[in-house]
Structure 1
C-alpha cells in the first residue's frame, strides 16, 4: 500500500470511528502503518467528517517526529508504542468508548473476562494513568503491552487503544472490548445481588442506595417537559420533545412561558457564552441527579469538556449561576442541563455526562472509585479552555 493509499484509508476509518459512536467529536484517533519506520495518523483537533488525505500526517515510529505544518494527534506516542511493540500490527485506533472508559475508572490493573476471546484473550490489561499526550501515558501503554496477550489495552481514566493486522481487526477488537467490559460489570452486579437476570434499573437503584438515596425519581417530582433550546439574536427557540418549537424573546413577561422555558431564559441571560442547551434525561443522568451530589471527573475528558466538577442545583434559580463554572449542571431529580457555544458542543457535554454518570453508578459495585486528581483535572480544564477548544472551533470553521 502506498503512502497516499494509506492516508486515504485513515480518512475513511476516521469517519467510521465517529459513526460507530466509539468517540465523541475529535476525542479519539486512527493510524495505519506505512512501512517499518512510519505510520499515518489523524491530525490534532480536526473534525474527522471533513478532513481529507492531505490532512493526514506521516509520523516516525522511532521518535514521533513529523514534517509539515499540520500537527498529528497528541496521542501519536501511544500509536508509536503499539507499532514498536509488534511489527505485525498495521492499524491502531484510540477510542473513548463508553464501557471500556467505565472500566478505566475502577482502579484495576487488569480484568478477567468470562470466556476467552480470540482477540482479547481472557484478560484485559489496564495501563497506568498519564495525562493525554504525555510521555507518562505513552510509557504506561508500552508497559501494559508487554503484559497483554490481546489486541486492546485500557488506559486508566481515559479510554482504550485497540489494534490489529488491519482496519477490520482493530475495529472488531474495539467492539469486542466494549462487550467484554459490559459483561464484566453485569457479572459483578449479578454476583453481588445474587440474581440470575440483569436489570439496569435495579443496578441504578442499587447505586442510588449506596449514594445515600432510597429510590429512583417518581413522575410527580419531574418537570412537566424536557426541552432543548438554541439562542437567537433576540432570544431563543425552545424545542420540546413533542416536536413543538416556541420562540421566546428576551424581556417577555415570565408568565408568558412555562417553568422549563424560564430556566433556559435565565441561563442565556446570565451566560453570554452559551448558545445551545440540551436537557439530558437519560436514566443514568436522572439517577445521579437524584443523589444530590457533586459529580467529579472519573474519566479525564469529563474534566476537559464538562468541568472540574459539576454540582447539583436544588432550586431552578441556582442553575444559571452554577453554569459559570462548568458546562453542565445537575438539577435535583431532573437530569442535567448541558450547554455549549453550539449544538455540537452541547452534545459532547451531554455524552460525557452520561459516561461519567455511568462510571459512578458502576463504581458502586466495586467500592468507592476515585476521580482524577485535583491537579490533573484543573490542568486538563485549563488547557482545554485556553487552547484545544479554540483549535477545534477554528478548524470547524474552515
Structure 2
C-alpha cells in the first residue's frame, strides 16, 4: 500500500468560530492520558523524517450534547495539549462536506471521518487516529477492517466509506485506511476501549511479523 497524500491538510469546508471552549474535566483527562501513551508509542506526534514533517494523529471525544471535541490541526509537536489546542465540532454534514466548529484552534483534518463514526454509531464516545506502519502493513494478514486504497484521507468519500463499513460491521472497534499512509482509527464506548484496541492491534502486528 502506498500513498503520496500530504498529511494534515484540511480538505472539507470549514466554518470555524475563533472563540475559547471548555472541555469537561473527565474528557480532558482521558484524552490527555491516552495522548501521552500514543505519543510514547510514536503513533501520533510530529517528526521531521515522517510525513514531510507534518504533525500526525488525533484524538476526539463525544460530549453529552452530541458535539465532539478533537485535537486541533497540527498540534502534534506539543507534548501536552491544553484546552486551546482543541476544537469543538458543533455540526458536520457529510453530504455537503462541511464542518461547523469553534475553539482557539481549527479541528484536525480528519474531523469529518470522526464525525462519520460518531453519526454511524451513537454508542461510540472516543476515537483515536494514529499512524502505525506495523498495523497498516499487516492489516490484510490480521484480517482487520479496511477502507480501500482508492479512498483518500479527509475526503467526503472517506467519510462515506467509514459510514458504510460501520453500518455493515457495527461491532468493529477500528479501521485501517489503506489510502492514508499508516492510518489507523480505533474507537469505543470508553477511552480505554479505543486505546487498548490500538495497543492490541500493534502487539498482534508485531507478533505476526516475528
> What is the TM-score normalised by the length of structure 1?
0.39
Q: Structure 1 residues 83, 102: closer, same or farther in 2, change over 3 A?
A: same
The answer to whether the 8 Å contact 2:116/2:163 transfers is yes
Specify the alignment match of 1:262 in structure 2. none
Aligned mate of 1:126, from 134, 137, 146: 146
The answer to whether the 8 Å contact 2:86/2:107 transfers is yes
Q: Distance in 2 between matches of 1:103 and 1:60?
A: 35
Within a 5 Å distance, the mapping from 1:1-398 to structure 2 comes to: 3-5=23-25, 6-25=27-46, 26-46=55-75, 47-60=77-90, 62-63=92-93, 64-103=99-138, 111=140, 113=142, 123-129=143-149, 130-148=151-169, 149-158=171-180, 159-184=183-208, 186=209
Match of 1:150, SS? coil
CA positional deviation for 1:39:
0.7
Match of 2:167, SS? helix
Higher relative contact order (Cα pairs below 8 Å, separated by 6+ residues):
2
Q: Structure 1 residues 137, 86: closer, same or farther in 2, change over 3 A?
A: same
Larger radius of gyration: 1
Q: Structure 1 residues 179, 156: closer, same or farther in 2, change over 3 A?
A: same
Instruction: Report how many residues are paired.
Output: 170
Q: Distance in 2 between matches of 1:165 and 1:153?
A: 16
CA positional deviation for 1:49:
1.0
> What is the TM-score normalised by the length of structure 2?
0.71
Q: Distance in 1 between matches of 2:158 and 2:190?
A: 24
Q: Structure 1 residues 181, 143: closer, same or farther in 2, change over 3 A?
A: farther
Q: Could you report, residue by residue, the CA deviation over 1:145-181 in whole angstroms, capped at 9, with x for unpaired residues?
A: 2233320111114211101111111111001122333
| Bigger proportion of residues as strand | 2
Of residues 160-169 and 147-156 in structure 1, the stretch that sits farther from structure 2 once superposed is 147-156
Unmatched 5+ stretches in structure 1: 105-110, 114-122, 187-197, 199-398
The answer to whether the 8 Å contact 1:153/1:162 transfers is yes
Q: Could you report, residue by residue, the CA deviation over 1:181-226 in whole angstroms, capped at 9, with x for unpaired residues?
A: 3455x4xxxxxxxxxxx5xxxxxxxxxxxxxxxxxxxxxxxxxxxx
The answer to whether the 8 Å contact 1:145/1:153 transfers is no
Match of 2:172, SS? coil
Q: Distance in 1 between matches of 2:24 and 2:175?
A: 29
Q: Distance in 2 between matches of 1:88 and 1:24?
A: 28
Q: Structure 1 residues 55, 167: closer, same or farther in 2, change over 3 A?
A: same
Match of 2:102, SS? coil
CA positional deviation for 1:127:
0.8
Q: Structure 1 residues 135, 48: closer, same or farther in 2, change over 3 A?
A: farther
Q: Distance in 2 between matches of 1:66 and 1:91?
A: 18
Of residues 14-23 and 32-41 in structure 1, the stretch that sits farther from structure 2 once superposed is 14-23
Unmatched 5+ stretches in structure 2: 1-21, 47-54, 94-98
Q: Distance in 1 between matches of 2:64 and 2:40?
A: 28
| Bigger proportion of residues as helix | 1
Q: Could you report, residue by residue, the CA deviation over 1:341-361 in whole angstroms, capped at 9, with x for unpaired residues?
A: xxxxxxxxxxxxxxxxxxxxx
Q: Could you report, residue by residue, the CA deviation over 1:356-379 in whole angstroms, capped at 9, with x for unpaired residues?
A: xxxxxxxxxxxxxxxxxxxxxxxx
